[in-house]
Amino acid sequence: MKIVFLGPPGVGKGTIADMILAKHPEITKLSTGDLFRENIQQGTPLGKKAQEYMNQGKLVPDELVIDMVKDKISGMDNFILDGFPRTVPQAESLGQIANIDKVINFIAKEEIILQRLGGRRTCPNCKAIFHVVNMPTKKEGICDNCGANIIQRDDDKEEAIKKRLVVYDQQTKPLINYYKEKNMLVDIDAAQPVRIDIAKDTAKAMDLSY
Ligand code: AMP
């Protein structure tokens, strides 16, 4: 199963992927954002290049992302791509390296996205995602999974959020039509108040039990 999760930043792609993975450990989530953040933490040359774009809420240049993804998915059969592709050239390259089964398109209004992004907190260690209101940690500031101090990502701060949403509209939204024309797109209502309902709809679209 080779699936793409498409949707604006903050719509909940990563959270829903984690919920599905918890029930289906045979699937791997590949988040290009997480991969870049790992590279930044480790101080790799790729991390150094990516950081300047990410801090400004801009996309990392296509060739850097495509090479990284190619490396990771070669030989993998069961994966969810979270945050890739984000441009038409990335989608075209992906089409050459993998047979994607479906593209799940997560939809929510901008006010919901802003609320989710502004309150999002992330564990820099295990990558778990929380929200100050919708999904608080049991102990304030501490990751439920691994006990590390959770943080607000620099690009989840207000100025970067605005920029990322503009970038989404300009560069990533065209992928909706790109995949619709290929009959690969399934829409999911990602604004439902109960997260499990979103996960169930997503699993169904992927022909998985939940
Ligand atoms: P994310 O965690 O998916 O929100 O990604 C965080 C940041 O990483 C984005 O704002 C981009 O700067 C960069 N990034 C992640 N995935 C991609 C991609 N497919 N293409 C270009 N930049 C990306």
Average pLDDT taken over every residue of the chain: 95
The residue behind tokens 């089409």 is 95
- Look at residue 103 and give its three-state secondary structure: strand
| Pocket-forming residues, ligand 1, beta carbon under 6 Å | 9, 32-33, 36, 53-54, 57-60, 65, 83-86, 90, 155, 164
Per residue in 104-163, pLDDT (tens digit) is 999 999 999 999 999 999 999 999 999 999 999 999 999 999 999 999 998 898 888 889
Q: Is 164 a catalytic residue?
A: yes
Per residue in 162-207, pLDDT (tens digit) is 899 999 999 999 999 999 999 999 999 999 989 999 999 999 999 9
Catalytic residue among 58, 70, 153, 163, which? 153
Characterise 37 by phi-psi region: left (phi > 0), alpha (psi -120 to 50), beta (else): alpha
Which pLDDT belongs to residue 4? Answer: 98
Q: Is 153 a catalytic residue?
A: yes
Which pLDDT belongs to residue 57? Answer: 86
Q: What is the mean pLDDT of residues 94-108?
A: 97
CA of 183 to the centre of ligand 1 (A): 25
Per residue in 36-50, pLDDT (tens digit) is 999 999 999 999 999
CA of 91 to the centre of ligand 1 (A): 14
Which pLDDT belongs to residue 49? Answer: 95
Atom 5 in ligand 1: residue holding the nearest Cα: 33
> Which atom of ligand 1 is nearest the CA belonging to 10?
4
C-beta separation of 20 from 208 below 8 A? yes
Q: Could you give the CA distance from residue 10 to residue 112 in angstroms, rounded to a whole number? A: 9
Give the side-chain half-sphere CA count within 13 A for 37.
16
Which pLDDT belongs to residue 26? Answer: 96
The length of the chain, given as a count of residues: 210
C-beta separation of 40 from 50 below 8 A? yes
Which pLDDT belongs to residue 159? Answer: 84
Q: Which of 31, 39, 54 to mutate to test the pocket of ligand 1 (most atoms within 8 A of CB)?
A: 54
* pLDDT band (50, 70, 90) for residue 69: very high
* pLDDT band (50, 70, 90) for residue 75: confident
Atom 12 in ligand 1: residue holding the nearest Cα: 54
Which pLDDT belongs to residue 100? Answer: 97
Bridge partners of 5? 82, 104
Q: Is 120 a catalytic residue?
A: yes
CA of 148 to the centre of ligand 1 (A): 23
Q: Sign of dihedral through CA atoms 33, 35, 41, 47?
A: negative
Run of H or E including 186: strand 185-189
Does residue 208 surpass a pLDDT of 90?
yes
Q: Are strands 2-6 and 79-82 parallel, antiparallel or unpaired?
A: parallel
CA of 42 to the centre of ligand 1 (A): 17
> Which atom of ligand 1 is nearest the CA belonging to 155?
10
Per residue in 3-29, pLDDT (tens digit) is 999 999 999 999 999 999 999 999 999
CA of 55 to the centre of ligand 1 (A): 10
Which pLDDT belongs to residue 12? Answer: 94
Which pLDDT belongs to residue 204? Answer: 98
Tokens of 166: 């503009």
Residue 25 burial (CB < 10 Å; 0-12/13-18/19+)? exposed
Domains and CATH numbers, the chain: 2-27+78-205 (3.40.50.300)
